[in-house]
């Protein structure tokens, strides 16, 4: 016969929970913190990805998935109608404002409102220009021109269109907030003005001009949006082919049907598709570590809870409760605890995310355009993930409750479900030895406690090692040499507009005359050409076979050019640098040795490892130390000669009237830091470094930057002079200061640290909670055992000492494991990021061990004493009769 015991099981479940309030408190706290951990990890991770993606989009210049470069309107319309394309927008490039020196101002015609939204343009005041003389500008360019951001203001711009110098006075129809992250500002004109400037020019004229100069004036730039951001390049290629055209990467020759395109590399989905296996394994391992930590927390709590109430479950079985009913009873308790813990954890995770993400955005100088948001689905995912973790981790404890036999349960003491062989002691009872032996009575519980503590500390070590491995000194070396660097804004600004790096002589003289200068270094540059020697030709052909040579998108006969270069019949670009002797210490030789005495003789040259393509590997070079090569130096009679084919298309260019001199290669050095180069390089170029005196002999060489070290008490006055000159005297001049560069880096690190330490706090709390619960539950479940020991002569002081020794052993073993395993895991995991993150190098830190292990020691001592006092509240006889 069947009888409905559902209500009885419900009542038993509720009343059992009321009797185990301490257990409930620990369980709810564990579930809550685990949910908080998962939610925090997911929300911070996705939030950081979103913030980085948004910042990168602003740097790229748009939210589009892919862009069509310099196409006709007909080509754009055909491609945008492809089934792959969800939506699209376009703009036409008119020119660059020449009277803007510190900021690149790109004058464009926008095809729609969607084009503005995709370019992060949100008009604060006014409207898009409609009249012929109206213009829409951003606050950055208006500030440089010293024009207030107010509708109706007059703005004069100078630019070049189709090789003609143009000048136009505009009326400001509207303005928007500019972004310092982006490399350029967009200045939007009206359609009426475009039609006026365009005149009788046709798209064929614009295409011909583009083929000769690479200038995209008058042509359409199309921005494509697909249904999602996965496999962007494959989608744009399919869209181009579907329209009947040929993608540029699939042809060696240019033509009217060849479409140039670009992929927006800001999208994380696109970037993660190219992750190498090592990085994927690393991220998976870290995710699994967090997952295992959450699993062990909940499993440990419910495992101990079941064992603590095992006698009660045995008694229920003696009166007819079935295995299935017992499992239902325990499951009901679990779901009720989840009903409290998971929503609480999700809410705390939500508020933590709302607090940390804006803080992170502010600290890391994020200047998004308003699309930065907190995704509520992450919270749902965190809650569901926690629920699944609880379900999986409770299966084994629930199974134990259902399978226990009544006799075993009633007679249970810790470790008593299995018979053990008892060894006789030869040395008598010792408190420390007894405590150590007790660890082996329930090996599973001991392993769980130790693993839980160790994982918490290891996770903390991982996070703090990552945060501590960012190298500000490496970042400073990459960005700036000395305390201040001065130069043309084409060098000091984020974007390179034209190859003009000339510095005002008055600017340099004024800087040199300032007080407190303790050191000054000059940086010079010369653009030339280089014909490979026989040895260089052989190495060039070898690198070509390895797929490391690329002649670039503006060559019309690329394979022929490569063959000519490999035979020494066609010159490579040469980027030649010269530095003051004090700057040479920043060069890092990877082959050969830099001897400054020999180098000053003028007979030697230093080479930078070749920058060929993205496939280039460290140390690739056309020459080795000891090789002889001939460098060609431009003279006052040198001119640039452009070669055209019968259709008037440019085939290439070269320099005439060059002087030649032979040098010996002294060393091959790593890629020059950003503080020592032009922030740009030529494809397949050779980069050489000559003594400064050799560089100054060439009339074409220019000083592109000068570095200063200044005494701290004079720094403010020096900074004031540089600011005055660059803002009042000549806005084409700029400067960098160590303090401003350091502030930029510190802002980024503070943002990472805010998230990292937030996770550290959650991980530490979880570890402490789990350890406290494990120790407290373990001691309280042994009340009868301790009573028996006291009944045969063990004093209260000895019991207290034994419990403290047990806690100490747990901590000691956990400490050894966490220090050893944590150091090893952190080394391999964090070291793998050395070549992934800029200015990042593994740096060992023992702070997590020095923080967490003493905290665990205090918790262990405190919990042992609390549990001891709790167990001593009843008399020895009362505790011994509990099982009856």
Alpha-carbon distance 38 to 384, whole Å? 10
**Three-state secondary structure call for residue 249:** helix
Report residue 627 as tokens.
Answer: 């090789």
Please tell me the predicted confidence (pLDDT) of residue 337.
83
Decide if 472 is inside a domain.
Answer: no
SS (H, E, C) 665-716: EEEEECCCCHHHCCCCCCCCCEEEEEEHHHHHCCCCCEEEEEEEEECHHHHH
Please tell me the predicted confidence (pLDDT) of residue 753.
67
Of residues 486 and 685, the one with the higher pLDDT is 486
Q: Is the pLDDT of residue 809 over 70?
A: yes
Do 238 and 307 reside in the same domain of the chain? no
Which residues have C-beta within 8 Å of that of residue 443, sequence separation ≥ 6? Answer: none
89 touches 114 (CB < 8 A): yes
DSSP H or E run through 106? strand 104-110
Decide if 552 is inside a domain.
Answer: yes
Q: Which of 60-64, 449-453, 713-717, 738-742 has the lowest mean pLDDT?
A: 449-453
Interval 824-879: pLDDT, tens: 988 887 887 776 566 677 888 888 888 888 888 888 788 778 777 777 777 777 76
b/e map 580-605, b = 16+ CB within 10 Å: beebbebbeeebbebeeeebeeeebb
625 touches 542 (CB < 8 A): no
Interval 533-576: pLDDT, tens: 999 899 888 888 887 776 544 433 456 777 888 888 888 888 99
Question: Where in the sequence is the domain holding 199, given as residue range(s)?
Answer: 63-263
Q: Is the pLDDT of residue 751 over 90?
A: no
Please tell me the predicted confidence (pLDDT) of residue 678.
86
pLDDT band at 420 (very low <50, low <70, confident <90, very high): very low
Q: Is the pLDDT of residue 820 over 80?
A: yes
Please tell me the predicted confidence (pLDDT) of residue 223.
93
CA 347, chain centre distance (Å): 27
Number of domains in the chain: 3
Residue after which a domain boundary falls, among 412, 443, 459: 412
Do 336 and 366 reside in the same domain of the chain? yes
Of residues 481 and 333, the one with the higher pLDDT is 481
Do 687 and 553 reside in the same domain of the chain? yes
pLDDT band at 363 (very low <50, low <70, confident <90, very high): very low
Do 43 and 101 reside in the same domain of the chain? no
Decide if 651 is inside a domain.
Answer: yes
Please tell me the predicted confidence (pLDDT) of residue 422.
44
Do 230 and 306 reside in the same domain of the chain? no
Decide if 407 is inside a domain.
Answer: yes
Percent of the chain whose pLDDT exceeds 70: 74
Alpha-carbon distance 254 to 265, whole Å? 24
Alpha-carbon distance 567 to 532, whole Å? 8
Do 93 and 236 reside in the same domain of the chain? yes
Alpha-carbon distance 408 to 794, whole Å? 27
Alpha-carbon distance 860 to 807, whole Å? 6
Radius of gyration of the chain, Cα coordinates, nearest whole angstrom: 36
- Residue that the structure tokens 């907030």 belong to: 177
Report residue 319 as tokens.
Answer: 């009166």
Please tell me the predicted confidence (pLDDT) of residue 331.
79
Do 69 and 190 reside in the same domain of the chain? yes
Sign of CA dihedral 127, 130, 135, 137: positive
DSSP H or E run through 104? strand 104-110
Alpha-carbon distance 650 to 214, whole Å? 10
Q: Is the pLDDT of residue 261 over 70?
A: yes
| Closest among 582, 514, 880, 452 to 725, alpha carbons compared | 514
Q: Is the pLDDT of residue 367 over 60?
A: no
DSSP H or E run through 528? strand 517-530
Please tell me the predicted confidence (pLDDT) of residue 327.
77
Residue after which a domain boundary falls, among 230, 263, 296: 263
Residue after which a domain boundary falls, among 691, 710, 729: 710
Beta strands, E only, 257-320 = 258-263
Please tell me the predicted confidence (pLDDT) of residue 372.
46
pLDDT band at 648 (very low <50, low <70, confident <90, very high): low
Beta strands, E only, 190-327 = 220-226, 246-247, 258-263
Q: Average pLDDT for residues 598-617, to the nearest whole number?
A: 80
Decide if 296 is inside a domain.
Answer: yes
Decide if 592 is inside a domain.
Answer: yes
37 touches 290 (CB < 8 A): yes
Report residue 537 as tokens.
Answer: 């030709």
Q: Average pLDDT for residues 392-408, to the nearest whole number?
A: 70
Alpha-carbon distance 265 to 552, whole Å? 19
Decide if 469 is inside a domain.
Answer: no
DSSP H or E run through 813? helix 796-831
SS (H, E, C) 606-628: EEECCCCCCCCCCCCCCCCCCCE
Do 300 and 244 reside in the same domain of the chain? no
Do 75 and 126 reside in the same domain of the chain? yes
- Say if residue 428 is exposed, middle or buried (CB neighbours under 10 Å; 0-12, 13-18, 19+): exposed
Report residue 617 as tokens.
Answer: 């590997």
Which residues have C-beta within 8 Å of that of residue 765, sequence separation ≥ 6? Answer: 33
840 touches 834 (CB < 8 A): yes
Please tell me the predicted confidence (pLDDT) of residue 763.
66
Alpha helices in 177-231 (DSSP H): 191-198, 203-213
Q: Is the pLDDT of residue 234 over 60?
A: yes
Please tell me the predicted confidence (pLDDT) of residue 267.
74
Alpha-carbon distance 711 to 518, whole Å? 7
| Closest among 36, 222, 595, 272 to 587, alpha carbons compared | 595
Task: Please provide the average confidence, as pLDDT, over all residues in the chain.
Answer: 79
Alpha-carbon distance 95 to 91, whole Å? 12
Do 647 and 658 reside in the same domain of the chain? yes
Q: Which of 101-115, 396-410, 577-591 has the lowest mean pLDDT?
A: 396-410
Decide if 550 is inside a domain.
Answer: yes
DSSP H or E run through 125? strand 123-126
| Closest among 314, 302, 336 to 13, alpha carbons compared | 336
Give me the residues paired with residue 663 across strands: 629
Residue 602: which region, alpha, beta or left (left: phi > 0; alpha: psi -120 to 50)?
left
Do 579 and 688 reside in the same domain of the chain? yes
Do 175 and 221 reside in the same domain of the chain? yes
């Amino acid at each position: 016969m069947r009888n409905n015991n559902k209500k009885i099981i419900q009542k038993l479940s509720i009343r059992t929970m009321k009797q185990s309030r301490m257990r409930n408190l620990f369980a709810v706290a564990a579930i809550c913190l685990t949910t908080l951990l998962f939610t925090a990890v997911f929300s911070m991770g996705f939030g950081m990805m979103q913030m980085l993606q948004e910042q990168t989009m602003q740097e790229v210049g748009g939210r589009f998935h892919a862009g069509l470069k310099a196409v006709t309107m007909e080509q754009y319309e055909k491609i945008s109608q492809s089934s792959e394309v969800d939506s699209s927008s376009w703009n036409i490039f008119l020119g660059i404002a020449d009277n803007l020196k510190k900021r690149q101002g790109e004058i464009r015609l926008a095809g729609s409102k969607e084009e503005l939204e995709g370019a992060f343009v949100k008009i604060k005041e006014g409207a898009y220009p409609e009249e012929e003389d109206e213009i829409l500008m951003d606050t950055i360019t208006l500030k440089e021109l010293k024009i207030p951001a107010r509708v109706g203001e007059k703005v004069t711009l100078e630019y070049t269109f189709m090789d003609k110098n143009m000048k136009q006075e505009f009326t400001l129809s509207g303005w928007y907030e500019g972004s310092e992250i982006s490399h350029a500002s967009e200045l939007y004109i009206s359609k009426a003005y475009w039609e006026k400037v365009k005149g009788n020019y046709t798209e064929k004229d614009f295409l011909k001009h583009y083929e000769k100069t690479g200038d995209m004036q008058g042509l359409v730039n199309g921005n494509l949006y697909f249904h999602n951001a996965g496999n962007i390049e494959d989608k744009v290629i399919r869209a181009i082919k579907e329209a009947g055209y040929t993608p540029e990467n699939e042809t060696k020759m240019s033509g009217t049907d060849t479409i140039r395109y670009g992929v927006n590399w800001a999208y994380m989905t696109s970037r993660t598709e190219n992750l190498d296996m090592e990085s994927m394994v690393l991220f998976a391992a870290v995710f699994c570590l967090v997952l295992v930590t959450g699993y062990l927390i909940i499993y440990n709590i419910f495992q101990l809870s079941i064992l603590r109430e095992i006698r009660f479950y045995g008694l229920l079985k003696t009166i007819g409760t079935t295995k299935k009913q017992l499992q239902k009873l325990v499951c009901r308790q679990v779901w009720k605890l989840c009903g409290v813990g998971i929503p609480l954890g999700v809410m705390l995770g939500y508020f933590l995310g709302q607090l940390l993400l804006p803080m992170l955005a502010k600290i890391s100088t994020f200047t998004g355009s308003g699309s930065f948001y907190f995704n509520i689905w992450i919270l749902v995912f965190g809650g569901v993930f926690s629920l699944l973790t609880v379900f999986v981790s409770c299966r084994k404890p629930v199974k134990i409750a259902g399978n226990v036999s009544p006799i075993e349960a009633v007679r249970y003491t810790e470790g008593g479900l299995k018979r053990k062989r008892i060894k006789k002691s030869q040395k008598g009872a010792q408190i420390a030895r007894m405590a150590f032996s007790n660890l082996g009575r329930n090996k599973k519980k001991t392993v769980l406690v130790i693993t839980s503590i160790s994982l918490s500390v290891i996770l903390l070590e991982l996070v703090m090692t990552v945060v501590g491995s960012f190298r500000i000194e490496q970042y400073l070396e990459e960005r700036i040499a000395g305390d201040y660097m001065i130069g043309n804004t084409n060098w000091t600004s984020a974007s390179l507009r034209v190859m003009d790096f000339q510095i005002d002589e008055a600017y340099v003289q004024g800087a040199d005359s300032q007080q407190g200068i303790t050191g000054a270094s000059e940086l010079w540059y010369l653009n030339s050409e280089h014909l490979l020697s026989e040895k260089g030709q052989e190495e060039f052909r070898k690198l070509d076979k390895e797929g490391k040579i690329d002649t670039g998108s503006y060559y019309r006969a690329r394979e022929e050019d490569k063959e000519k270069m490999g035979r020494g019949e066609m010159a490579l670009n040469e980027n030649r640098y010269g530095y003051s002797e004090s700057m040479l210490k920043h060069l890092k030789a990877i082959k050969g040795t830099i001897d400054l005495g020999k180098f000053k003789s003028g007979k030697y040259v230093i080479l930078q490892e070749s920058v060929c393509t993205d496939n280039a590997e460290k140390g690739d070079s056309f020459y080795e130390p000891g090789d002889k090569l001939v460098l060609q130096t431009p003279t006052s009679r040198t001119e640039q000669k452009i070669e055209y084919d019968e259709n008037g298309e440019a085939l290439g260019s070269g320099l005439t009237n060059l002087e030649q001199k032979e040098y010996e290669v002294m060393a091959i050095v790593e890629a020059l830091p950003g503080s020592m180069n032009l922030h740009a390089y030529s494809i397949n170029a050779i980069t050489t470094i000559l003594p400064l005196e050799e560089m100054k002999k060439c009339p074409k060489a220019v000083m592109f930057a000068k570095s200063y070290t200044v005494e701290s008490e004079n720094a403010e006055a020096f900074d004031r002079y540089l600011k005055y000159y660059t803002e009042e005297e000549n806005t084409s001049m700029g400067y960098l200061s160590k303090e401003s560069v350091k502030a930029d880096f510190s802002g980024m690190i503070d943002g990472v640290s805010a998230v990292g330490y937030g996770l550290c706090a959650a991980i530490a709390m979880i570890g402490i909670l789990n350890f406290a619960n494990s120790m407290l539950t373990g001691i309280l479940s042994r009340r009868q055992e301790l009573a028996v020991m006291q009944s045969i002569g063990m004093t209260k002081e000895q019991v207290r000492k034994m419990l403290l020794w047990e806690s100490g052993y747990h901590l000691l073993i956990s400490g050894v494991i966490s220090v050893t395993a944590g150091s090893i895991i952190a080394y391999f995991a964090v070291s793998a990021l050395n070549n992934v993150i800029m200015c990042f190098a593994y740096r060992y830190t023992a702070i997590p061990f020095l923080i967490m292990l003493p905290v665990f020691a205090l918790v262990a001592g405190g919990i042992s004493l609390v549990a001891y006092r709790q167990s001593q509240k009843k008399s020895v006889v009362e505790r011994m009769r509990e099982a009856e």
